[in-house]
Chain A
Amino acid sequence: AQTVTQSQPEMSVQEAETVTLSCTYDTSESDYYLFWYKQPPSRQMILVIRQEAYKQQNATENRFSVNFQKAAKSFSLKISDSQLGDAAMYFCASLNAGGTSYGKLTFGQGTILTVHP
């Protein structure tokens, strides 16, 4: 079974600064995907970034980037130049690519990010 752990229940950052959210995961599969989702106060889950495990290069999406350490099973999210609109709960999630997984995501418990002006 997969597990995803986010050890930081809450984080805060000053506007324009950089913050890193931590995530570790555990899977016995060799082919899997990792995701960060953002949940603002509206509560809709929004995809932030995706990483395929077979790719060594870290994924980036504008101000969002990941540090994917496959051997350590670590997948942290770095937010650069933080903006007030980045304030939200962030979820780390994993998905096994195997045919019997049916694309089921396993989520961490979330990290609440506060951005101070």
Chain B
Amino acid sequence: SQTIHQWPATLVQPVGSPLSLECTVEGTSNPNLYWYRQAAGRGLQLLFYSIGIGQISSEVPQNLSASRPQDRQFILSSKKLLLSDSGFYLCACATWGGRTDTQYFGPGTRLTVL
């Protein structure tokens, strides 16, 4: 089974500073990868997903971007953070197999923008 790593676990950044969150996956190949944001401890909002290296789809227009430089690496970035970017960011991984596709989540990164 796959293992998902995210770092950093916690980050405090000033408004206007850049951002780079990393997600790496072990134990699988060619996964679908996803970035979610959770604000105020409620529902998850899908930000980006990727079905392969260099293939990124954005779900919500915003201040963030994503990249997938390697098969099992997914990066969330920003050139200039906004206060509204604060939240809990979760990376998820799914591997299509048979008739099932289940997403497994990493431990998350708590981002506070001050």
Query: What is A's interface to B at a CB cutoff of 8 Å?
Result: 33, 35, 37, 42-47, 50, 52, 54, 89, 91, 95, 97, 102-105, 107-110
Per-residue contact bits, chain B 73-114, to A (CB 8 Å; 1 contact, 0 not): 000000000000000101010101001111111111010000
Do A97 and B88 touch across chains, with their CB atoms under 8 A apart? no
Contacts of A35 in B (CB 8 A): 102
Q: A45-B92, A107-B44 are in contact. List 19 more A-B contacts (CB 8 A).
A: A33-B101, A35-B102, A42-B107, A43-B108, A44-B106, A44-B108, A45-B90, A50-B102, A52-B99, A52-B100, A95-B103, A97-B99, A102-B32, A103-B32, A103-B101, A104-B34, A104-B46, A105-B46, A105-B92
B-side interface mostly: strand
**Chain B: interface residue total (CB-CB under 8 A):** 28
Q: Tell me, rounded to whole Å, the shortest Cβ–Cβ distance linking B107 to chain A.
A: 5
Do A50 and B100 touch across chains, with their CB atoms under 8 A apart? yes
* A110 and B107 in contact, given A97-B101, A102-B49 (Cβ under 8 angstroms): no
Q: How many residue-residue contacts, CB under 8 A, span A and B?
A: 64
A108 to B99, CA, bound (A): 23
Query: What is B's interface to A at a CB cutoff of 8 Å?
Result: 32, 34, 38, 41-44, 46, 49, 51, 57, 59, 88, 90, 92, 94, 96, 99-108, 110
Q: Tell me, rounded to whole Å, the shortest Cβ–Cβ distance linking B94 to chain A.
A: 5
- Nearest CB in chain B to that of A106: its residue: B46
* 5 tightest Cβ-Cβ pairs between the two chains A and B: A45-B105, A109-B43, A103-B101, A107-B44, A103-B94
Do B106 and A105 touch across chains, with their CB atoms under 8 A apart? no
Contacts of A107 in B (CB 8 A): 43-44
Do A91 and B99 touch across chains, with their CB atoms under 8 A apart? no
A112 to B49, CA, bound (A): 27
Contacts of B42 in A (CB 8 A): 109-110
Contacts of B34 in A (CB 8 A): 103-105
Do A91 and B44 touch across chains, with their CB atoms under 8 A apart? yes
- Nearest CB in chain B to that of A95: its residue: B101
A104 to B41, CA, bound (A): 20
What are 29 sample pairs from A and B whose C-beta atoms fall under 8 A apart?
Answer: A33-B101, A37-B105, A42-B107, A43-B38, A43-B88, A43-B108, A44-B106, A44-B107, A45-B44, A45-B90, A45-B108, A46-B105, A47-B103, A50-B102, A91-B43, A95-B103, A97-B101, A102-B32, A102-B57, A103-B94, A103-B96, A103-B103, A104-B49, A104-B59, A105-B34, A105-B44, A107-B44, A109-B43, A110-B41
